[in-house]
Structure 1
Amino acid sequence: MLTVDFARLPVGPGDRVLDLGAGGGRHAFEVLRRGADVVAFDLDPAEMESVAAMFAAMDKEGEVPYGATGETVVGTALDMPFPDGSFDRVIASEVLEHIPEDMAAMKEIVRVLKPGGLLAVTVPAFLPERVCWALSEAYHTAPGGHIRIYTLAELSAKLKSSGLEIGDHHHAHGLHTPYWWIKCAVGVDNNDHPIAKAYHELLVWDIMKRPAVTRIAEQILNPVIGKSVVLYARKPA
């Protein structure tokens, strides 16, 4: 399930891409399939072990275009072990809302991005996230959880003050928002609740089958209750 629109963040052979806060690697895998060199970077060593194993499996199955490379690096977004201007593209998906010093992380992103390079940032959208916080304290107080709710204006202003030119934006995963509202209402750890379980099965079916009816529904829901907002920016040349 991708949040970033790669039509707006084009990647391909010859590009070096950083997936910051890569987690399970969903965006890193797509970047590699498109023939770019990708570095999956995360604070969690176990996640990076899993991503490295998937990179190897993709290569074995012939899913990696000739010359493309995928590597993993463990570290903190506040002090990344890369020289200035190392990457043509940076993806920071669902990570900034976890970082207390978010402006410091943004400045690190700008530092490692090449002049003229592109950035895609995704964070939980304001309205869906605000409802989740109101429904469940456990949703946002768990260790490593979300510590802030961004408005689009705040996110844009912080990225701009970090030295980036702000581009367009869109919302994603409108179908997922009701699931999280249900989870927050019945208990975020209550995976066996019948309503939550049924909705989860619907989401899995949608991800696997991509039927027209849910694709149309999500297009309608995204501008209203899209779970994530995606903002694109550019480092001045």
Structure 2
Amino acid sequence: MCVPATWSPITAGCCPLQTVDRCHFPLLPGQRVLDLGCGEGRHAVAAHLHDGADVLGIDLSLPDLLTARSRHGEFRRNSDDAMFALANASALALPLADDSLDAVICSEVLEHIEDYRAVLQEIRRVLRPGGLLCISVPRAWPERICWWLSRAYHDVPGGHLRIFSRRRLQAEITGMGFACYYRHGAHALHAPYWWLQCLFWRTRGTNALIRQYHRLLVWDMLDKPRVTRTLERLLNPWMGKSVVMYFHKRVAT
């Protein structure tokens, strides 16, 4: 997603800057939370500062981890008691004990990983019975338009390796011992932005239309005007750039 540098995780909560909607993914102070593929830390930082959770963010990109650490430092309070840690590690071999986490966030990650099923197995291993899992991936039909408009959009190192069917992915995760209790779309206003990026891929850095749309997205995220919030809420169920699924790990009987 396109996130302005001035965003504040303290006021994030259930806002458009967060793919994960904490209205459906409640975290409590002191809970152990993993943000897997945390990138620049928008979910990890919010989970720590807004929810008071003990957070570990894991990513393969050192520059992204440094940005996450910097963002956390900008907003943290001296009185913070919860743990916040970042690690450069692989999702295929998490440096965590079995059943050691209360919640896992894996947002916009699986489409980048060849053996995504092995990642899901690792998540299952480290998440305690009854623990919460949030998975988000690009919605299939907006993603297909991006692939059709520009091969370079996905055919780059670290790009998207596949287009997920939401039904199939949900069924796979359910078959691993999870129960899905909610799902929704997110970031509908971002879908046209990425279509424009793909359509004008070679000149995307200087294209005036893309710059203007970017300004719209920044205005939407910072000011949260009623018109764009209402429009995105109406469009998210069928046009959201991301599809977000919430699960809990079944307790063995």
- The TM-score with structure 2 as length reference comes to 0.89
Residue 210 of structure 2 is matched in structure 1 by: 196
Residues 118-157 of structure 1 correspond to what in structure 2 (within 5 A)?
118-157=132-171
| Partner Cα separation in structure 2 for residue 15 and residue 188 of structure 1 | 45
Contact 1:138 1:188 in 2 (8 A): no
| Partner Cα separation in structure 2 for residue 27 and residue 107 of structure 1 | 22
Shift of residue 65, structure 1, vs aligned partner: 6.1
Question: Gaps spanning 5+ residues in structure 1: where?
Answer: none
Residue 95 of structure 1 is matched in structure 2 by: 109
| Partner Cα separation in structure 1 for residue 72 and residue 218 of structure 2 | 23
1:58 to 75, 88, 104: 75
Contact 1:15 1:36 in 2 (8 A): yes
2:223 to 209, 214, 220: 209
Q: 1:188 to 1:166 in 2, by over 3 A?
A: farther
Residue 7 of structure 2 is matched in structure 1 by: none
- Structure 1 residue 68 corresponds to structure 2 residue 74: no
Secondary structure class of the residue paired with 2:20: coil
Secondary structure class of the residue paired with 1:192: coil
Residue 14 of structure 2 is matched in structure 1 by: none
Deviations 1:57-88 (A, max 9, x none): 333xx2x7642121001111011110001110
Secondary structure class of the residue paired with 1:141: coil
Question: Gaps spanning 5+ residues in structure 2: where?
Answer: 1-16
| Partner Cα separation in structure 1 for residue 152 and residue 221 of structure 2 | 27
| Partner Cα separation in structure 2 for residue 151 and residue 128 of structure 1 | 12
Residue 169 of structure 1 is matched in structure 2 by: 183
- Structure 1 residue 15 corresponds to structure 2 residue 31: yes
| Partner Cα separation in structure 1 for residue 59 and residue 189 of structure 2 | 27
Kindly tell me the number of residue pairs found equivalent between the two proteins. 234
1:29 to 36, 45, 49: 45
Shift of residue 152, structure 1, vs aligned partner: 1.0
Shift of residue 188, structure 1, vs aligned partner: 6.1
| Partner Cα separation in structure 1 for residue 208 and residue 74 of structure 2 | 35
Shift of residue 163, structure 1, vs aligned partner: 2.0
Q: 1:188 to 1:221 in 2, by over 3 A?
A: farther
Residue 249 of structure 2 is matched in structure 1 by: 235
| Partner Cα separation in structure 2 for residue 185 and residue 54 of structure 1 | 32
Amino acid at match of 2:212: A
- The TM-score with structure 1 as length reference comes to 0.95
